[in-house]
Amino acid sequence: MSLQLNTCPQALELIRARVSTSHFNPAFEIDDDLVADLIGHACEAPSAYHLQNWRFIAVRSREGRQKLCDPAYGQHQVKDAAVTVIVIGTLDGYQRIRANLQPLVDAGHMGPEDLEAWANDTHRGMHDRPAKQRDEAIRSGSLAAMNLMTAAQALGLASAPMGGFDAAAVSAAFGLAPTELPVMLVAIGRPAPGNWPRKPRRPVGEVLSIV
């Protein structure tokens, strides 16, 4: 018998209601506070070792959109959405692990020796391991992007994840450091008519093994 756990049905509704939006209302605008609010929700995502190995560029200005248009292969969401967020994963995020954990020490949740052990563990796991650094950059960036889309949905906005972009061209256009990887573009705004309905998913029985 399964438990009936249904303490926040709205959260499940949001997950089910999100769709990738192709057509955005170009007249709808998002102010700085709302952009910051959305990014704050993105940053609530978990990350390995609590790396928080991400950065975000919110492309909203006309010049910014023009710069992003070609690297995003002319995808029109960039032109029409209120903002397109470049979700960036950082390869060297592990180097600031002590700063990330210090607030836990300050709050008395973690002892200084625990911080030291955690930081050393992180360094061992991440330093001189480019594949691991890239994996974690993509994992963290993807989780942050998902949070961003769910938060947008919760705030009555539509979103569009995009992996169709030239990473080197995005990096060059927006001055990303060699240690920064553009993971995903997420366009956010209000939908215009003409979008696809929600696409059905493969049945759970086809994709799940319980062992």
Ligand X SMILES: Cc1cc2nc3c(=O)[nH]c(=O)nc-3n(C[C@H](O)[C@H](O)[C@H](O)COP(=O)(O)O)c2cc1C
Of 199, 167, 198, 197, residue with least CA distance to 185: 167
**Regarding beta strands 158-162 and 180-189, do their DSSP bridges make them parallel or antiparallel, or are they unpaired?**
antiparallel
- What gap in Å lies between CA 188 and CA 41, rounded to an integer? 14
User: Closest approach of Cβ 24 to ligand X, in Å?
Assistant: 12
- Which range touches ligand X (CB under 6 A), out of 37-45, 99-107, 112-120, 157-165? 157-165
- Which range touches ligand X (CB under 6 A), out of 52-60, 92-100, 129-137, 160-168? 160-168
Q: Is 84 in the site for ligand X (CB under 6 A)?
A: no
User: Which 161-180 residues touch ligand X, going by CB under 6 A?
Assistant: 161-164
**How many other C-beta atoms are found inside a 10 Å radius of the C-beta of residue 70?**
14
Pick the binder of ligand X from 47, 52, 53, 75 (CB under 6 A). 75
Nearest residue to ligand X on Cβ basis = 164
Can you state the percent helix, strand and coil of the chain, rounding each to 5?
50, 15, 35
Pick the binder of ligand X from 6, 199, 200, 206 (CB under 6 A). 199
- What gap in Å lies between CA 71 and CA 168, rounded to an integer? 8
Q: Is 195 in the site for ligand X (CB under 6 A)?
A: no
Which residue matches tokens 């002319």? Answer: 74
**How many other C-beta atoms are found inside a 10 Å radius of the C-beta of residue 80?**
22
CB-nearer residue toward ligand X: 117 or 196: 196
CB-nearer residue toward ligand X: 100 or 161: 161
- What gap in Å lies between CA 159 and CA 200, rounded to an integer? 18
User: Closest approach of Cβ 163 to ligand X, in Å?
Assistant: 3
User: Closest approach of Cβ 199 to ligand X, in Å?
Assistant: 5
By CB under 6 A, name the binding residues for ligand X. 19-20, 75, 161-164, 184, 199
